[in-house]
């Protein structure tokens, strides 16, 4: 009798903990759904056509960039945070890779160079990009008021043999809103 009563009490305590946990998921300001996020509309730099958007969110392991884009060429594309919130002049107005520490080096998302060096975007055979990438050194607060750039070619995360990962032309660009929600 004594033993079974103890077991009932344990189960009740577990139920209370679960109930509190459930309330916490809906009400806590630290719940993942309430972490900073923003949506960036992306346009082709030549035609100005809207290609879709990229959702940027703070995650436990960095900033997660979730693309919902179409009209790109299949394969891998260099993807970076550029300094200026301006996609004009075929993307040139966006300036260089965001580099708040003035490293002057393109080393990719796991290096110690430009903070704006994001993981490559992957585009499928239908021209769509939907696979999220996570940049572990970046937070949403680093991206606000800047721009996201997608290049024609890939990115070898180095300045050699070509500078800035060798991705070439700036084919798609999005101005990041000045505030996260
Ligand atoms: Cu770039
Ligand atoms: Zn770079």
What is the per-residue pLDDT across 86-115, written as a single tens digit (0 to 9) for each? 999 999 999 999 999 999 999 999 999 999
The reply to whether 62 and 16 lie within a common domain is no
Centre of ligand 2 to C-alpha 165, Å, is: 7
**29 DSSP 8-state letter:** T
C-alpha 167/C-alpha 114 separation (Å) is: 15
pLDDT, position 33: 54
**Closest by alpha carbon to 118, among 131, 126, 128, 127?**
131
Q: Extract the tokens encoding 5.
A: 């009563």
Tally of residues, the chain: 181
C-alpha 104/C-alpha 84 separation (Å) is: 17
Q: What domain range includes position 157?
A: 35-175
Q: Which residues surround ligand 2, an ion (CB under 5 A)?
A: 97, 106, 114, 117
Centre of ligand 2 to C-alpha 172, Å, is: 16
The reply to whether 26 and 115 lie within a common domain is no
pLDDT, position 7: 44
Average pLDDT, the chain: 87
**Beta bridge partners of residue 82, listed in sequence order:** 97, 147
The reply to whether 134 and 82 lie within a common domain is yes
pLDDT, position 181: 74
List of residues 6+ apart from 14 with CB closer than 8 A: none
Centre of ligand 2 to C-alpha 30, Å, is: 32
Q: Please tell me the total count of domains within the chain.
A: 2
**84 DSSP 8-state letter:** S
The reply to whether 18 and 73 lie within a common domain is no
Which percentage of the chain shows pLDDT scores above 70?
81
Q: Check if the beta carbon of residue 48 is closer than 8 Å to that of residue 138.
A: no
pLDDT digits (tens, 9 = 90+) for 17-40: 433 434 444 444 445 556 799 999
The reply to whether 22 and 54 lie within a common domain is no
Centre of ligand 1 to C-alpha 39, Å, is: 18
**Closest by alpha carbon to 43, among 125, 149, 121?**
149
Other C-beta atoms lying within 10 Å of the C-beta of residue 139:
18
Q: Which residues surround ligand 1, an ion (CB under 5 A)?
A: 80, 149
Show contacts of 49-57: CB within 8 Å, 24+ apart: 51/172, 53/174, 54/148, 54/174, 56/140, 56/143, 56/176, 57/140
Other C-beta atoms lying within 10 Å of the C-beta of residue 97:
23
Centre of ligand 1 to C-alpha 116, Å, is: 8
Centre of ligand 2 to C-alpha 142, Å, is: 15
Centre of ligand 1 to C-alpha 134, Å, is: 16
The reply to whether 60 and 98 lie within a common domain is yes
Centre of ligand 2 to C-alpha 148, Å, is: 12
The reply to whether 79 and 150 lie within a common domain is yes
The reply to whether 63 and 141 lie within a common domain is yes
């Amino acid at each position: 009798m004594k033993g079974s009563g103890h077991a009932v009490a344990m189960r009740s305590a577990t139920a209370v903990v679960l109930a509190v946990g459930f309330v916490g998921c809906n009400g806590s300001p630290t719940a993942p759904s309430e972490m900073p996020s923003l949506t960036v509309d992306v346009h082709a730099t030549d035609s100005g056509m809207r290609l879709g958007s990229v959702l940027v969110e703070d995650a436990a392991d960095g900033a997660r960039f979730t693309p919902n884009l179409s009209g790109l060429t299949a394969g891998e594309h260099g993807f970076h945070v550029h300094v200026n919130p301006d996609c004009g002049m075929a993307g040139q107005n966006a300036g260089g890779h965001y580099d708040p520490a003035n490293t002057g080096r393109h080393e990719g998302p796991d290096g110690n160079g430009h903070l704006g060096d994001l993981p490559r975007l992957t585009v499928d055979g239908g021209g769509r990009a939907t696979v999220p990438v996570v940049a572990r050194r970046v937070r949403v607060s680093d991206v606000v008021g800047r721009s996201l750039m997608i290049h024609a070619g890939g990115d070898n995360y180095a300045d050699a043999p070509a500078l800035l990962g060798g991705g070439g032309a700036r084919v798609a660009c999005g101005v990041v809103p000045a505030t996260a929600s």
